[in-house]
Structure 1
Amino acid sequence: MFNRRQTLVLMGAAAAAALPLAAQAAPEQLKTLRIGWQKNGVLALAKGNGALEKRFATRGIDIRWSEFSSGPPLLEALGAGAIDFGPTGDVPPLFAQAAGGNLVYAGTYRGPPDGSAILVHKDAPIRSIADLKDKRIAFKRGSSAHNFTVKALRTAGLTLADISASDLAPSDAAAAFTSGQVDAWAIWDPYLAVAEKRPEARVLASGKGIVESWSFFLANGGFAESDGDILADLLDELRLVGKSAQDNLDETVRNLASITGVPEDIQRVVLTREGADLGKVAAVSPEAIAYQQELADEFFKLGIVPKQLDVSRIVWRRKQA
C-alpha cells in the first residue's frame, strides 16, 4: 500500500496564499525579501544553509520563506504580490500570465527529463501510452505534469479528450492512485522518486524523449522593477549554492534530507538522474523564451490556456548601469 505519510511530508501549506493579500503588500522600502519555495532543488538548499540570509544581511534585508506544494498556488501568491520570488515548472507561468498576474520570468534552471513520469499499478494491463485511452489519469492542472501528459498522449495519437483527467495535488493524487481511484498518475520529483520505491507502482513512461525539462524562477513584477539589483544578486547566489551542492553530492543529499524530511535514498535518486545539475541557474535565454512561447501557443490552440500569450512581454532583463 502506498505510504501516504511519505507524500504528506513533501506537502507544504501555501502559507503566503492563506494570508490576506492586503497584509502582504510590499512596503515603500524593501526590508523583507519574501521567497516561495518547494521541497526540492537549489532554493531548498539555500533555505537550509542560510546562504541568502548571509548574502543580504549587510543590506538590512530579512528573508521570509513560504512553502508551497506546487507551482500554481505559488504563482498565484507571486502575481498578487504576496511573495516576491519563487520557482516553478513550465506550465504554471502560462496560467498566471493569462490570469493577469503581475509577474516576470527572472531566471531558468534545467532538470533531468526522467524526473517526471507517468506511473501505473504494477499488475495493471497498461503496457503502453496507447493503453491509457479511456483510463483515469491524475495530474495537477496547470503544472508541468499537465504538459507532460499532453505530450505523452500525443506520442500514441491520443489527446486529453481520450482520457478521464483528475485534477489533483500530489498528496491527493498519491492517495487516489494507492486506492485505485485512478489508473495512472503523472508526477515529478521528489514525489516521483518516493513513488518509485513502492512495490505496487510501475513507471509507464518518463519524460525522456517526450518533454524538455525547463523550469523557471519568477519574480513579482513590481519587485523586479524596483529592486532589480537584489533580484540579480539573488539569482547569482542561487547559482553559487547550486554549483557547490553539485560538487559535494554526499553532503547535499544529507542536507536536503534534513531540510525536507525526504529520506536520503530518495534524495540521491533525484540528484543523480541523468542530466541533474543544481548549478544550472541562468538568465532567461532566447532558447527558453522560444520554448515557453511554443508551449503557450500549443496550450492556447488546445483550449487549455484561455488567451494568446506573448511570453517575451514578461521576461525580466536586468537594467545596465
Structure 2
Amino acid sequence: MMDRREFIVSASAAAATSAIAAPAVAAPMAKTKLRIGYLHTVAVDEQIWLADHLGAWARNGLDPQFKEYKTGIELFNAMGAGDIDMLATGAVVSNFPARGQGKMFLANSIEYATAQLWVREDMGVRQFADLRGKRVATTAGTTAHVFLDNALRENKMTAADIDLAGMPMPQAVDAFITGNVPAVALWVPFNIAVREKVPQAKMLLDAGVFYPSAAVVDGWAASNTYYAANKPVLARVVRAWIEANDMLMARTNEALGILHDKYYPQVPLRDIKEQFGAMRVFPTAVWRRLYSNGTIVEWLQQVTDFYARVTKIANPVPAAQYFDPSIFLSVTKD
C-alpha cells in the first residue's frame, strides 16, 4: 500500500507532467457571426449600440454584422431573401410574422408618441375634421399608418374619408414641406425636419393619446429557419440586449450621451432625448412581467388586427403563436 509520502511525491510528479503538457493559455472561443438588420432610429437600435459600447456582444460570444435599412418592410424582405438572419424593427414586427414570415423573440421598446400627425393650417387644416377629403401622406404598413388608422377610428372616420397618399417617409415629409400635401403622419425623427423647415406647421396629435390601448411594440424577429436551429444563439442575443437595456434604465443620461457621441453624432442631443421621451422602455423585471402576463401578446395582436384588416391578411398567425417569450423568460428566470 502507498504511504502518504509516496502519494505526495507521485501526485507532484503527475501534476508537473500535466503542467508541461497543457497549453499556457486556452484558445479563445470562436464567436458566432450574426447578420442583423436594423432601423437607425432610437426606438429600435438604442440597445444595439449600447451593447456594442459595453462590449456585450463579444462578451456573449457574438460577432454581429449590422446592416441598416430604411423601413421594416425592407428589413423583412431582406430576411426573406436570406440576406440577414434577424432584424430589429418597429410596428411591422406584428405584420410579417402574422403571415408566417419570421418568429419574434424579443420586445425592444413600446412606441408611446413616436408617431405624429402634422398639418398645415395655411392649407386649410386646423382640426382633425378638416382632414375629410384632404390628401394625407404616410408610409403604408408602418407605425405611422397604424397610428393614422387609430386616429381616424377615434374620430369616427375611415381611410375612405381622406385621400391617403402612400409613399416612403422621406418623400412623404418632403411633400408636406413643399406644400404638396396638407397633412403627414410620420414617426420621429422626421418631425425635426418638419419643425425646422415649416415653422408654421402644427402637430395635431401624437400616438400618446391612444396609449396603452393602441400601443405599438418594436422588437426583434429571426427568420423561421434561423429561429428553429439557433435558439441558444438567440438566448445570447437576449443576454447582450439585457446588459444594454439595464444601462439605459439605470444611467439614462449617460446612455443617451453615448448614443449621441458615438452613434448619432449628426443628431443634436436634445433631439435624441426627445425621441427617447416618445417611447417606453422598462427594467428587466418589468419586461419579464409584461412577457409573463400576456401584455406583450395583447399589444402585438392589436397591431396584427390592423394589418389583417387593412392589408387583407388571410388567416393571420395570432401573436400568441408568432411571438416566443420563452427565450427571454429562460434567460431572466434567475
Q: TM-score interval w.r.t. the shorter chain?
A: 0.7 to 0.9
1:267 corresponds in structure 2 to 272
* 1:214 positional shift: 2.1
* 1:270 positional shift: 1.4
* 1:218 equivalenced with 2:217 (yes/no): no
* 1:64 positional shift: 0.5
* 1:249 equivalenced with 2:267 (yes/no): no
1:309 alignment partner, SS class: coil
2:57 corresponds in structure 1 to 55
2:91 alignment partner, SS class: coil
**Distance verdict in 2 for CA 1:108–1:159, change over 3 Å:** same
**Distance verdict in 2 for CA 1:63–1:109, change over 3 Å:** closer
* 1:244 positional shift: 0.9
- Identity among equivalent positions (%) equals 22
Distance 2:238 2:208 in 1: 27
**Distance verdict in 2 for CA 1:195–1:232, change over 3 Å:** farther
Contact 1:89 1:143 survives alignment (8 Å): yes
Aligned pair count reads 288
Contact 1:105 1:217 survives alignment (8 Å): yes
Contact 2:104 2:219 survives alignment (8 Å): yes
**Distance verdict in 2 for CA 1:226–1:96, change over 3 Å:** closer
Contiguous gaps of at least 5 residues in structure 2: 1-29
Contact 1:74 1:86 survives alignment (8 Å): yes
Bigger shift: 41-50 or 137-146?
A: 41-50
Distance 2:175 2:60 in 1: 48
1:19 corresponds in structure 2 to none
2:243 to 226, 240, 243: 240
* 1:37 equivalenced with 2:44 (yes/no): no
Contact 1:76 1:96 survives alignment (8 Å): no
1:72 corresponds in structure 2 to 73
| Counterpart amino acid of residue 48 in structure 2 | A
* 1:305 positional shift: 2.9
2:315 alignment partner, SS class: coil
Contact 2:216 2:303 survives alignment (8 Å): no
Contiguous gaps of at least 5 residues in structure 1: 1-28
2:145 alignment partner, SS class: helix
- Say which structure is richer in helix: 2
Written as runs of structure 1 = structure 2, the 5 A alignment for 1:1-321 is: 31-41=32-42, 43-44=45-46, 46-47=48-49, 50-51=52-53, 54-56=56-58, 59=61, 61-95=62-96, 97-98=98-99, 100-101=100-101, 103-198=102-197, 199-210=199-210, 211-258=214-261, 259-260=263-264, 261-273=266-278, 276-277=280-281, 279=283, 282=287, 284=291, 286-300=294-308, 302-311=309-318, 312-318=320-326
Deviation by residue 1:248-294 (Cα, 9 ceiling, x = unmatched): 33333333234133222211211234x64375694655222233334
1:186 alignment partner, SS class: strand
Contact 1:108 1:216 survives alignment (8 Å): yes
Distance 1:236 1:267 in 2: 25
Contact 2:90 2:142 survives alignment (8 Å): yes
Structure with larger Rg = 2
Distance 1:153 1:48 in 2: 37
2:149 alignment partner, SS class: helix
Deviation by residue 1:195-218 (Cα, 9 ceiling, x = unmatched): 345413310111122232322221
Bigger shift: 155-164 or 80-89?
A: 80-89
* 1:225 positional shift: 1.7
| Counterpart amino acid of residue 230 in structure 2 | D
Distance 2:60 2:133 in 1: 58
**What TM-score do you get using the length of structure 1 for normalisation?**
0.78
| Counterpart amino acid of residue 296 in structure 2 | A
Across the aligned residues of Structure 1 and Structure 2, the Cα RMSD in angstroms comes to 2.9
1:114 alignment partner, SS class: coil
| Counterpart amino acid of residue 63 in structure 1 | P
**Distance verdict in 2 for CA 1:212–1:44, change over 3 Å:** closer
1:209 alignment partner, SS class: helix
Distance 2:56 2:111 in 1: 30
